[in-house]
Chains A and B, each alone.
Chain A
Amino acid sequence: MAGKIRINIKYWIIGTIVLLLCIPIFIIFSHLFGTPTENWYHIYDNLLADYLTNTVIIVLGVSLITLFYGIGAAWCITRFELPFKNTLEWLLILPIAIPTYINGFAYSGLVDYAGPIRVFLRNVVGWDEIYFDIMNIYGVIWVMATVLYPYVFLSARTAFARQAGRLQEAASSLGRSKINSFFSVVLPVARPAIVAGLLLVVMETLNDYGTVKYYGVPTFTTGIFRAWLSLGDLQSAIYLSSMLMSLVFSIILLEKWQRGRAQYESGEKNDATPKQPLSGIKKWLALFMCVLPVLTGLFIPLFQLLYWSYFSWTAVVDAAFMEIIYNSFYLAGFAAIIVAVLAILLNYAVKLVRSQKWENIAKITMLGYSVPGAVIAVGIMIMIIGLDKYLIALLNETFDIKIKLLITGSVFALLYAYLVRYFAVGFGPMEAAFKSLPNSIGEAGRSLGSNPLRNLIRLDVPILSKAMIGTLLLVFVDVMKELPLTLILRPFNFPTLATNAFQYANDEMLTKSAPSSLLIILIGMIPVFLLNRLINTNKK
């Protein structure tokens, strides 16, 4: 009997976690067939076309710039002998720590009337009539692309490091020039990896709310916020959400399709083709290709934020600010632990079940990562309001107790939303870690008298502690940066660093928003540093 029960527990764990994480997403689809409100006709007739074209233009624009930055820098770093190569290599990754909306604040401040550029032109050069209008769709594209390109850079760098050198040599031994072989062989072979990196860029772009709101460019995410928070029209928010989700899923399918029949990963170790030394103008061009992204995506926004913080930190950093930091750490820490624990349980259960089918079922939980935060917020809200109404009615009827909304507007709802959105961030690395652990370890434990639970606690968890800390850190940072979910679901009067930065910026107090922004960025850089150190030790 005991054996039978134990087997059941594994399936129950998988089933429960998968359901928990998918319900908010499925709820959106289930409400798709509700009756449209009057607002919807207004949105449909007057706004939807704008939402769609703006979203598509932003995605295309951001894709173009990130591809240029990411591929260009990755190529120069992997193929050429450059000065400061190692420093540049990780500086090129760091912009990933800057949330798009914070980059948006920094750039808008940089070029406004009181910003350093116009102050310089006015006071030193004497030009007063020069305007840099970036508060438009092109500005949005620029500020998003300059901090999102590292996703493309990372995947392109890996792909190039693996095979670019020897493929190019093979091509030139067959009589092709370097440029010719780059486009006919190197780029096509690296394409699947690059597109996978680009997919992450597109996801982040579609998830953004802070930048487009601040720059006043109507897109699907601002539409969802507006329909719901301004018009109080949940049904329209659902329509918009499901459209945005369809867009996301068709992009994912497109990516799967592009991989096609050819298998590009040769599975070989990194190729040892020596890097080429450059000289003269070529060397400066290659260096420029690597320095430009660092400048526009890291130094310029950081400089602006430091400049503001220098003036405002005495006014901003007080007891209330400490409480905001506490709120952020509390949310991010809690969310990270929940994600890590559930990711371990799910992976361990899958490992014990040893079936491809259940492994695939468990992978459904990664869906949430591709769904924009605003959409998840809508799904969670519907679910929780329903649950609250049910509880009120239940308690009222059965025990004659009258309560208010219990879960709605509580930290619980917010944590649940983080779990849905960021579970994949923890699940992916934990899955890889569990797979790297041979089954024989658990079997040895069993043969020495441990049950599966004791095995998990005494063997798997300690052995995988490094992967676990990595997971905690990644989720922590992602939650810390998260804006749209937090804005919608946070309890009343519960500011976090992200919402604080956004609120100040929206109230045109950019100077005061800078310390919060800076703190988010600095915390976000920690995993990049650690990861870089890990890569370097592995190289040795």
Chain B
Amino acid sequence: MKPALEISQLTKTYPNATKPALDQVNLQVEKGEVLALTGESGCGKTTLLRSIAGFESVQSGNIRILGEEVADTKPEQRNVGLVFQDLALFPHMTVEKNIAYGLKKLDKAARKARIEEVLQLTGLSEYTNRYPHELSGGQKQRVALARALAVKPKILLLDEPFSNLDELLRVKVRQEILSILRSSGITTILVTHDAQDAFNMADRIAILKKGELIQVGTPENLFLQPVSPYVARFFGEISLLHGTQTPEGLKTSFGLLAYASDDSEVLLGLRPNAVQPTDTTGPLSGIVTQITFMGAFYEYILQAGHKDTEHLHLFRKQRDYEVGDEVYFTVSSEQVIEFKIKSM
């Protein structure tokens, strides 16, 4: 079976820009899959999305939708659905008219049936005659989704779909949208800068940096085996630690770490839960320089010495230490992520 979307060697440079916004991007999305596209702002994720939709012209490379090359096809002929960041609902039309907008090719009965179907799917049946400004944030979100789904697009693109919602609403709407996407079985690409969105919704996550696609994989895969600190930082707090390989172990600023690497110079990434304090003295220790109450736990920041810039994060349920205390700890080597120095 052909993949829903196949992007190869896609390159786009904006006029007057020195670096390409998209640099030889390769990406494949399977039918029915939900893929999250993420990265820091300006990394090219929105440009990639808009290129798939057809709003950005690309200099070279291919975009195939179900095997069909669309790189030179007008947006209105691509049959790609798009939910805009600000939704772009038509303010002068009711919910029903908004949804019907893309269905002009259907005859009256078919159009009515399709609208009914989409309204059912998105749970908007009571609001058909409302105008967009008469709806809540979550309802507007569903109208935008309904409008895009109505035309049965081959792919659905969501651009930062929850960025306008507050935190409480965000979680609720995210679940609603996800269940709509799953039950319609549509191939979806979602642009987000929020790791929680990506974790919650995506089958796979693709990470962009400065126009380059640097890693694609399942959420677990990216969390456990990130190729660079850039990727790792996306999914939570991580401390970086430089080390030199010696026969006794890895020499770091916090002491000797029991770890064996193939390289002599090593960069390690440590999640807070990788650091485990011990009651007895040991080879690794740091001094508490800052304590922050985070609600469910305390966050401690450990430094090797006062002049040293490297620090570790440590999470504890109780306030076990005070600023200035020396803490001995161990690190389980399975929880350590090793980065290749060149990928920095």
Q: Contact residues of A with B, CB < 8 Å? A: 163, 166-167, 169-177, 184-185, 188-189, 191, 261-266, 268, 271, 273-274
B88 touching A167 by the CB < 8 A rule? Answer: yes
Q: Which of the residues A166, A264, A274 comes within 8 Å of B88, measured between beta carbons?
A: A166
Contacts of A176 in B (CB 8 A): 76, 101-102, 104
B90 in the interface (beta carbon within 8 A):
yes
B91 touching A173 by the CB < 8 A rule? Answer: no
Which of B34-42, B77-85, B214-222, B332-340 interfaces with chain A? B77-85
Contacts of A185 in B (CB 8 A): 90, 92, 101
A-B contact pairs, 14 of them (CB 8 A): A166-B86, A169-B55, A169-B75, A171-B101, A172-B54, A173-B81, A174-B147, A174-B148, A175-B104, A188-B92, A189-B91, A262-B93, A265-B91, A273-B55
Cα distance, A302 to B124, chains bound together (Å): 59
Given contacts A172-B74, A175-B77, A266-B91, 19 further A-B contacts (CB under 8 A): A166-B84, A167-B88, A169-B53, A169-B55, A169-B84, A170-B82, A170-B90, A171-B101, A172-B54, A174-B102, A175-B79, A176-B76, A184-B101, A188-B92, A189-B91, A262-B131, A263-B91, A268-B86, A274-B56
B133 in the interface (beta carbon within 8 A):
yes
A262 touching B102 by the CB < 8 A rule? Answer: no
User: When each residue 268-302 of chain B gets 1 if its CB lies under 8 Å from chain A and 0 otherwise, what string results?
Assistant: 00000000000000000000000000000000000
A173 touching B53 by the CB < 8 A rule? Answer: yes
Which residues of chain B in 76-124 are interfacial with respect to chain A, using CB atoms and an 8 Å cutoff?
A: 76-77, 79-82, 84, 86, 88, 90-93, 101-102, 104-105
Q: Which residue of A lies closest to B50 (CB)?
A: A169
Q: Which of B54, B56, B91, B93 has the most CB of A within 10 A?
A: B91
Contacts of A170 in B (CB 8 A): 82, 84, 88, 90
B76 touching A264 by the CB < 8 A rule? Answer: no
Contacts of A273 in B (CB 8 A): 55
B190 in the interface (beta carbon within 8 A):
no
B91 touching A264 by the CB < 8 A rule? Answer: yes
Cα distance, A263 to B100, chains bound together (Å): 20
Q: Which residue of A lies closest to B144 (CB)?
A: A170
Which residues of chain B in 215-257 are interfacial with respect to chain A, using CB atoms and an 8 Å cutoff?
A: none
B151 in the interface (beta carbon within 8 A):
yes
A189 touching B90 by the CB < 8 A rule? Answer: yes
Cα distance, A271 to B88, chains bound together (Å): 10
Cα distance, A188 to B101, chains bound together (Å): 14
Contacts of A163 in B (CB 8 A): 88
User: When each residue 319-343 of chain B gets 1 if its CB lies under 8 Å from chain A and 0 otherwise, what string results?
Assistant: 0000000000000000000000000
Cα distance, A188 to B80, chains bound together (Å): 25
Cα distance, A263 to B91, chains bound together (Å): 7
Q: Which of A166, A174, A262, A265 has the most CB of B within 10 A?
A: A174
B91 touching A262 by the CB < 8 A rule? Answer: yes
Cα distance, A398 to B93, chains bound together (Å): 71
Cα distance, A166 to B133, chains bound together (Å): 17
Contacts of B88 in A (CB 8 A): 163, 166-167, 169-170
Q: Which of the residues A166, A167, A173, A262 comes within 8 Å of B80, measured between beta carbons?
A: A173
Cα distance, A481 to B82, chains bound together (Å): 51
A263 touching B147 by the CB < 8 A rule? Answer: no
A465–chain B nearest beta-carbon distance, Å: 36
Contacts of A265 in B (CB 8 A): 91
